[in-house]
Amino acid sequence: MKHLVGKVITEKVPFMGEEVEVKKLSVGQVIKVQELTKEFNKKKGNDDASVKLLREVIKLAVVGAQDLTDEDFNTFPLEELNQVSEAILSLSGVNKTGKNEGN
């Protein structure tokens, strides 16, 4: 099993009529998403916090997204960002509340 440490698994998911490559989140990345989700829940009702959470999840998992600026993200439809974020979390075994499925 040691030889698999750091291995990245990807899957293509639809985004804006095309496909993007999404990495399954590691345990460490899932923990980071859970922490971001807790911050978001404290600021509920704040649209900026919601968009920040989306940006961070997408930057963690979508190949090539880590270099996108906030302005770049602002050009995408919110519904499309939500869909790709949900696909990332589902692929990584995390439900919408940021908790591991099975907990």
- Taking Cα atoms as reference points, which of 14, 17, 24 lies closest to residue 93? 24
CA distance 81 to 60: 13
Residue-wise pLDDT tens digits, 5-50? 888 899 999 999 999 999 999 999 999 988 888 888 887 666 677 8
What is the Cα Rg of the chain in Å?
14
Domain extents in the chain: 25-91
Residue-wise pLDDT tens digits, 68-80? 999 999 999 999 9
Q: How far is CA 102 from the centre of its chain?
A: 19
At 27, list the tokens. Answer: 């345990």
Angle at which helices 47-61 and 78-91 cross, to 10°: 50
pTM tops 0.85, yes or no: no
pLDDT band at 98 (very low <50, low <70, confident <90, very high): very low
